[in-house]
Amino acid sequence: MATGNNLQELYEKFLSGQSNASEQLELIALFGTADATALEELIHQKLEDNTAFAAENADHKKRYNRILVNLQQEISQNRTPHRFKWLKIAAAASITLAVGLSAYLFISNQNVKPVIITAKIETEVRPGGNKAFLMLSNGQKIQLAKIDRGIIGADAGRNIRKTAEGQIEYDRVQQQNHLSDNGVNILQTPNGGQYRVVLPDGTKVWLNAASSLKYAINFGKSGERKIELTGEAYFEVAKDPVRPFIVQTDDQNIKVLGTHFNVNAYHDDGGSKTTLIEGSIMAISGNAKALIYPGQQVISIGRNRLQIDDVDTEIALAWKNDQFMFDSEPIRMLMKRLARWYDVDVVYGSNVPDVRFNGGVSKFENISAVLKILESTGKAHFKLKDRTIYIEQ
């Protein structure tokens, strides 16, 4: 059983941002062995201490308040000490009180034991970054990571700029009749890449790793703004009551007038998943249609069926907010996401169980830190060699 003094010392060190990686992993293990009453007392004490948290910015403060309210509701509804519940609350409190830290993990096993970290790291792999290729309508391919800011080209009557923030924008024009209706651009991110683009109509798009976005430079006179997506992207669509904005994937069409939503359409992840943040969207798959509202996700099940679920939008947008977040995530799905971002291969041993993970980590940690955090759960063992991750039970 964890000693109260050691748990409190490590917890306070973590909340103040002074703990190192090994101390954070030790704290995770102690959460799994501490007495439920001790956890309850420690968390109540810290939540009531206004000095335990110092907001770094308005976004952190907002997120802190939201998680704090949820925590207080969960605590009030579970006054009887319950080991599994308090393990989750302990970790959530850690996130709340130390919202600016880069990594966290909560353990969802009911019988958690301290584990020895045995992840074998023979090579280090750094995280991905802003890397993409822009294909112009004349076939020219521009490697965006290797080009300076400023005007990088022109297509269909518009100049194309790379901004100081590292995104692509299209110059607005005064005379629409000088524009060509035939220009089509394709923005592609490799494994280990992501990029942002502001489309000519003002729509903002965040493109995830291993993804492709195909769009007309000038949406022309068709009466709609239609783009094609493979992979994953987050959209903040410029409002236009006359011309609907349509995202087309292999098995789903999403039609909006102006709203914020995320589309996951990786070929190897199953059916397309669209998560709505604000506004409303119409999703179409074959003969199936569904109107989606904020906080809902629509999944294509084959060509003529749509499934609608209520979801945690923060998890759906974690990648866009520079995080990995896992909510009962199967190991094979989790590793697909890591493989795309770190540009690594994954090899599974013959005895890897169908385990699931909860928690999260910054996208900008080196992969060794991520694997050590995952291995701290005791659910799987990892070896990294020559940009290949080997997984065993």
Distance of CA 273 to the CA centre of its chain: 14
Note the pLDDT of residue 175. Answer: 52
Matching residue, tokens 């009962």: 328
Express each pLDDT in 230-274 by its tens digit: 999 999 999 988 889 999 999 999 999 889 999 999 988 888 999
C-alpha dist (Å) from residue 239 to 203, 213, 246, 260: 8, 20, 12, 10
pTM, full prediction: 0.74
**Domains in the chain: boundaries:** 1-114, 129-316
Express each pLDDT in 299-332 by its tens digit: 998 778 999 999 989 889 989 988 888 888 899 9
* pLDDT above 50 (res 123): yes
Amino acid at 336: K
Indicate the CATH number of 129-316 among 3.40.50.720, 2.60.40.420, 2.60.120.1440, 1.10.760.10: 2.60.120.1440
Identify the bridge partners of residue 121 per DSSP, sorted by sequence position.
384
- The whole-number average pLDDT for the span 75-80 is 49
* pLDDT above 90 (res 297): yes
